[in-house]
């Protein structure tokens, strides 16, 4: 019998001039990026939290604190790879479902690129990844174009090896 674990991730970052906008490891053309200690890839941060949650290993801040200079401006894809190394041989990512919430920029043209990039990073088939882009119809901080948030749910298949933090 296959043991399946599910994790939910959430992250939010405000916009900041002078930074690149990176979502799911893909650079999106826009006049501002997201503020953060790392590259502020809100989607990968939510994905990391979902994976860590499903594995019972805490959250992104415990593993990669924003007080640590080593993570300053780091590519979040590298953080994801570190998390995947932690769960390697213990869990396999089964599937991923993502929601990116942003009034602007319009993300529909980039959803497929993001799926491809996440497929490469997670080393799973693209068909196991779903990316949705939503607006909040002008409501809240995302609706006012102050930032972006992301939700991710992940299912992991347990490979039968006990892991410790």
Binding residues: 11-13, 37-38, 45, 59-61, 64-68, 141, 144
- State how far the Cα of 115 lies from the Cα of 63, in Å rounded to an integer: 25
In sequence order, which residues have a C-beta less than 8 Å from that of residue 62 and are 6 or more positions away?
none
- State how far the Cα of 82 lies from the Cα of 79, in Å rounded to an integer: 5
Q: Which of 117, 95, 114 is nearest to 105 (CA)?
A: 114
Phi-psi map region of 152: left, alpha, beta (phi>0 left; psi -120 to 50 alpha)? beta
Residues flagged as binding site for a divalent metal cation: 11, 13, 45
């Amino acid at each position: 019998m296959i043991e399946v674990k599910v994790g939910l991730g959430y992250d939010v970052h405000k916009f900041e001039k002078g930074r690149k906008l990176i979502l799911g490891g893909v650079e999106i053309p826009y006049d501002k990026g997201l503020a953060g200690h790392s590259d502020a890839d809100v989607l990968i941060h939510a994905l990391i939290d979902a994976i860590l949650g499903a594995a019972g290993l805490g959250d992104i801040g415990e593993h990669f604190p924003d007080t640590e200079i080593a993570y300053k401006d780091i590519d979040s894809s590298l953080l994801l790879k570190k998390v995947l190394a932690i769960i390697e041989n213990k869990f396999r990512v089964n599937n991923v479902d993502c929601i990116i919430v942003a009034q602007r920029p319009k993300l529909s043209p980039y959803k497929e690129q993001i799926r491809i990039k996440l497929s490469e990073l997670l080393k799973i088939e693209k068909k196991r990844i779903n990316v949705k882009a939503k607006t909040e119809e002008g409501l809240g901080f995302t609706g006012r174009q102050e930032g972006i948030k992301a939700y991710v749910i992940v299912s992991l298949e347990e490979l039968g090896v006990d892991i410790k933090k």
